[in-house]
């Protein structure tokens, strides 16, 4: 492919607008060919200053726009299934933001639809696999120098949650990143989850169970704990420590700038995920574009999106019941055999 890859971006909200900017200004070899969003004014604002973009309020119309060769889905999660299936029907490669599909049944339908095609078309946007620190940790664990991983200790904190955020979303939206990261780092599926509810913070909106403590078990006997706290008030923090038989390794501490002034020093704390993981998002889209231009699809696939949806749904049930809940996956299609934990 010699011409830039024509990408239709579905969704022009905060995430979609950021991807439109990224494709237009950061990633070489691609261009924004079309945008779809129910809010036509928002879509027009997102592509202001970019020539030759077709703007639609309907997803399928954007996918059928002239010059569209690939799709980036950044709409709200409940709309992802329809957009993914529409892309599959047209044979268009897709990068779909997480959650792939929020509910396990819908996620499985997407897996099965892709399997019927007999080839991979979708990459799911678990961008932590593209973060430098996460990749360093993955590489270290894969060498086996520290022995078998026994535990992962994870922290996921946000300054504040948006008005629509629910207690379940702490798991199926926020912790879904830790679900995929744990599966990828350990090379193991999650088999059970227990959610413990500490006393909610005074900074949490009324009725929101925040923070939460989430404990996952894996098929090889490792444990993964996640402190998720979405109204911590001071910054966006993501940390992960792998405890192994012969040592441990921790990431997330040094991703900051230290400012020295007026006789003192302070560490700056990122205020949201688009700041903390800006480089990871850039690498993710760049690698997707490069792969599609070579006729390939790499990275986390629809099975990973499905596995995350099932684990998150089990976590929500545990949150509601207080009981340990198993993670029950459907049989894995041959198309995805051995692909779930690749970089």
**Segment 131-146, tens digit of pLDDT:** 999 999 999 999 999 9
pLDDT in tens, 55-103: 999 999 999 999 999 999 999 999 999 999 999 999 999 999 999 999 9
**Model confidence band, residue 229 (pLDDT cutoffs 50, 70, 90):** very high
Cβ distance 221 to 116 under 8 Å? no
Q: How far apart are the first and last CA of the chain?
A: 24
Q: What percentage of the chain has pLDDT greater than the value 90?
A: 88
Residue 61, class by beta-carbon neighbours within 10 Å (0-12 exposed, 13-18 middle, 19+ buried)? middle
**Model confidence band, residue 295 (pLDDT cutoffs 50, 70, 90):** very high
pLDDT in tens, 216-225: 999 999 999 9
H or E stretch including 21?
Answer: helix 14-25
pLDDT exceeds 90 at position 339: no
Q: Please state whether the peptide bond connecting residue 211 to the residue before it is cis, i.e. omega within 30 degrees of 0.
A: yes
The pLDDT value given to residue 263: 74
Cβ distance 204 to 210 under 8 Å? yes
Please check whether the domain covering 132-276+306-326 is classified as CATH 3.30.360.10: yes
Q: What percentage of the chain has pLDDT greater than the value 70?
A: 94
Separation CA 277–CA 162 (nearest Å)? 19
Token couple for 28? 């070489």
The structural domains of the chain, with segments of one domain joined by +, span: 5-128+279-301, 132-276+306-326
pLDDT exceeds 90 at position 260: no
Cβ distance 278 to 270 under 8 Å? no
pLDDT in tens, 41-56: 999 999 999 999 999 9
32 forms beta bridges with 7
pLDDT exceeds 50 at position 235: yes
Separation CA 337–CA 4 (nearest Å)? 32
pLDDT exceeds 80 at position 27: yes
H or E stretch including 320?
Answer: helix 302-321
The pLDDT value given to residue 267: 67
The pLDDT value given to residue 261: 65
The pLDDT value given to residue 307: 97
What is the average pLDDT across 232-245? 93
Distances (CA, A) of 55 to 3, 48, 93, 108, 330: 21, 11, 20, 31, 38
Chain position carrying tokens 């894969």: 142
**Model confidence band, residue 212 (pLDDT cutoffs 50, 70, 90):** very high
Cβ distance 244 to 148 under 8 Å? yes
pTM for this structure?
0.93
**Model confidence band, residue 343 (pLDDT cutoffs 50, 70, 90):** very low
Separation CA 156–CA 167 (nearest Å)? 15
What is the number of helices (H) and of strands (E) in the chain?
11, 15
Which of 328, 293, 280 has the alpha carbon at shortest distance from 6?
A: 293
Topology given in CATH for the domain delimited by 5-128+279-301: Rossmann fold (3.40.50)
């Amino acid at each position: 492919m010699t011409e830039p890859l024509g990408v239709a971006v579905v969704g022009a909200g905060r995430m979609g607008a950021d991807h439109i900017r990224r494709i237009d200004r950061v990633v070489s070899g691609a261009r924004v060919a079309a945008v779809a969003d129910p809010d036509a004014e928002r879509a027009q604002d997102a592509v202001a200053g970019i020539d030759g973009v077709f703007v639609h309020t309907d997803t399928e119309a954007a996918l059928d726009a002239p010059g569209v060769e690939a799709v980036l889905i950044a709409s709200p999660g409940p709309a992802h299934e329809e957009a993914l299936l529409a892309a599959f029907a047209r044979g268009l490669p897709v990068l779909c933001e997480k959650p792939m599909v929020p509910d396990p049944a819908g996620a499985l339908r997407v897996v099965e639809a892709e399997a019927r095609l007999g080839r991979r078309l979708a990459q799911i946007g678990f961008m932590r696999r593209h973060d430098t620190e996460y990749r360093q940790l993955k590489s270290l664990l894969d060498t086996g120098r520290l022995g078998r991983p026994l535990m992962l200790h994870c922290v996921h904190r946000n300054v504040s949650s948006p008005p629509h955020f629910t207690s379940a979303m702490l798991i199926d939206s926020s912790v879904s990143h830790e679900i995929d990261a744990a599966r990828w780092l350990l090379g193991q599926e999650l088999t059970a989850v227990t959610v413990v509810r500490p006393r909610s913070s005074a900074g949490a909106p009324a009725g929101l169970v925040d923070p939460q403590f989430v404990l996952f078990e894996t098929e090889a006997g490792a444990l993964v704990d996640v402190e998720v706290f979405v109204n911590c008030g001071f910054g966006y923090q993501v940390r992960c420590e792998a405890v192994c038989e012969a040592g441990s390794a921790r990431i997330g501490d040094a991703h900051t700038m230290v400012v020295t002034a007026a006789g003192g020093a302070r560490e700056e704390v990122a205020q949201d995920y688009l700041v903390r993981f800006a480089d990871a998002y850039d690498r993710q889209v760049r690698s997707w574009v490069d792969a599609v231009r070579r006729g390939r699809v790499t990275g986390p696939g629809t099975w990973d999106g499905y596995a995350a949806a099932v684990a998150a749904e089990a976590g929500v049930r545990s949150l509601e019941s207080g009981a340990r809940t198993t993670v029950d996956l459907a049989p894995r299609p041959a198309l995805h055999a051995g692909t779930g934990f690749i970089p």
